[in-house]
Amino acid sequence: MTVLKIAVQKEGRLSEKSLGLLTECDISVVQGKRKLIGTSVDYPLEVLFLRDDDIPQYVADGVADIGIVGENEVLEKDKNVILVKRLGFAKCRISLAVPQDSDYKDLSWFNGKRIATSYPHILQKFLDEKKIKSKIEEISGSVEIAPSIGLADSIFDIVSSGSTLVSNRLKEVEVVTQSEAVIIATPNLSKEKQTLLDGLLFRIKTVQQSQGNKYILLNAPNEKLGEIIKLLPGMKSPTVLPLYLEGWSSIHTVVHEREFWGIIDKLKEHGAEGILVIPIEKMIL
């Protein structure tokens, strides 16, 4: 039987959400003892737990068929992989930051300066584009402390909330690129594996489509139905069912939570009662 091998981050900013996404797709993963390989009983999937830095290489080599990894690693490693889908979580930016008290005015500040980073490839490309000559100090972790220990004048690193920068008395001065979790695939997947990937992508789509959407039910007097239905966005057309109480109906529809708070008062004004809001797990459009 064909099994799709997926690489996910072993531990770090993406690992929990990556497995969470599979869980939402009704794919539960049983991890082996040393948390290197996991299997699923719900889907022909084998999960390889790897360091995020290694995932692009493993996928390019076909050791893993696909991987969930930060775009930052895909850009940095620049391997022969296909970007299949952006996943919308683990969003961050990769930025240049300098000590808070420095006299930074524009990019030319970086000329002749040392920049510490774990992303030398992305940084060099950017500096070349901007015709800036700096010295890149490649380090694999704790980049943010490099200026305070005299290893560099500035850093180029991931910024998410910005709290790491603040606690190291650094300020972000230039966003070089944005990043989020993505699915990458090895080129030339076999037909069988492509089918498995398509099945997985379909499940992900149904989960993502449901995000932020709520199923709402409300009761309304029949003579107000027309007005109330006009207020409701809905998927196609709301369901209207008669209540046992004569002259009243129950309306069911799907509303995005953004829109929901904007129409709730109007619904009540128009005589809606007993409004229930229910989460939706999956939506197939």
Helices (H) and strands (E) counted in the chain, each on its own, are 8, 16
Which one among 52, 71, 76, 137 touches Zn ion, defined by CB under 5 A? 52
Q: Does 65 bind Zn ion (CB under 5 A)?
A: no
The residue among 52 and 71 lying less far from Zn ion, judged by its C-beta, is 52
**Least distance to Zn ion, CB of residue 33, Å:** 24
E strands along 146-191, which residues? 154-159, 170-179, 181-185
**118 touches 140 (CB < 8 A):** yes
- Which amino acid belongs to residue 164? T
- Contact mark string toward ligand PRP, 134..163, x via CB under 6 A: -------x-xx------------xxxxxxx
Pull the structure tokens for residue 206: 């149904």
Which window, 32-40, 51-59, 146-154, 168-176, contacts Zn ion (CB under 5 A)? 51-59
Which one among 164, 210, 213, 253 touches ligand PRP, defined by CB under 6 A? 164
The residue among 52 and 144 lying less far from Zn ion, judged by its C-beta, is 52
**179 touches 94 (CB < 8 A):** yes
Q: H or E segment at 219? A: strand 213-221
**Least distance to ligand PRP, CB of residue 52, Å:** 7
Q: H or E segment at 283? A: none
Q: Which residues bind ligand PRP (CB under 6 A)?
A: 12-13, 141, 143-144, 157-164
